[in-house]
Amino acid sequence: MGLLPTLAFGVDFVDGGNPDPDKVLLGKLLFHDLPVGEGGKGLGVTRSTGEDANAIHERVPRNAPPIFTLGSTQVTRMFHDGRVEVSPDFLSGFKSPAGMLLPDTLENILAVQAMFPVTSAAEMLGQGSENEVSEAAQAAGEEAACAVWNELAKRLRENDEYVALFKAAFPGEITRESDITYAHAANAIAAFEIDA
């Protein structure tokens, strides 16, 4: 889509509406790899919604929000209740449910938004001891979001194809798999959403 939104609406977009193509590719793959979350098993098109006791327990009774034009620099709040917003009062530059625990490497408000669906049991996290990510979240207490992000980063580091894509999307910043964080994934997802 590139510059079309900027020209069509006369507003500024993150990265001028033209995010790095390597980040966009990685973000596209992550965006489409994560949708079947809670209860899901496997990667990509082989991902299922689980079965028997491990099947999806609860569905969120709303549709995913649209992403069209959310890359505008004029967007300063996210979610229906505004729980994510641009704020100089936080080291990360954003007010969020994670407070001061939010990584300070997030590039824009879309990346901040991408950090939270994976922390919701009903959306993507899972229930109880259904998987190692939901187990880590329960054990971590107040730092549950950080535990989730760390577990998901471990999964990404174990996938050689993703590691190569992260290195291409974040040259100099990611030189080995141990450099990958979930914040990198959120930045890539945001790049895809800006370009979409």
**What pLDDT score does 71 carry?**
73
Please name the residues in contact with 130: beta carbons below 8 A apart, sequence gap of 6 or more: 38, 39, 50, 54
**What pLDDT score does 121 carry?**
67
List, for residues 72-95, the tens digit of each pLDDT value.
777 888 887 888 999 999 999 999
Q: Record the tokens describing residue 153, joined without a space.
A: 């980063």
Instruction: Find the mean pLDDT for residues 117-141.
Output: 71
* Alpha-carbon separation of residue 140 from 117, 137, 151, 164 (angstroms): 17, 5, 12, 30
Domains identified in the chain and CATH numbers: 4-41+70-76+103-195 (1.10.760)
List, for residues 134-180, the tens digit of each pLDDT value.
787 776 667 888 888 999 999 999 999 999 999 999 999 999 999 99
**What pLDDT score does 2 carry?**
44
List, for residues 95-120, the tens digit of each pLDDT value.
998 999 999 999 999 999 999 888 87
Looking at the predicted structure, is the pLDDT value of residue 181 above 90?
Answer: yes
Please indicate whether residue 123 or residue 181 has the higher confidence score (pLDDT): 181
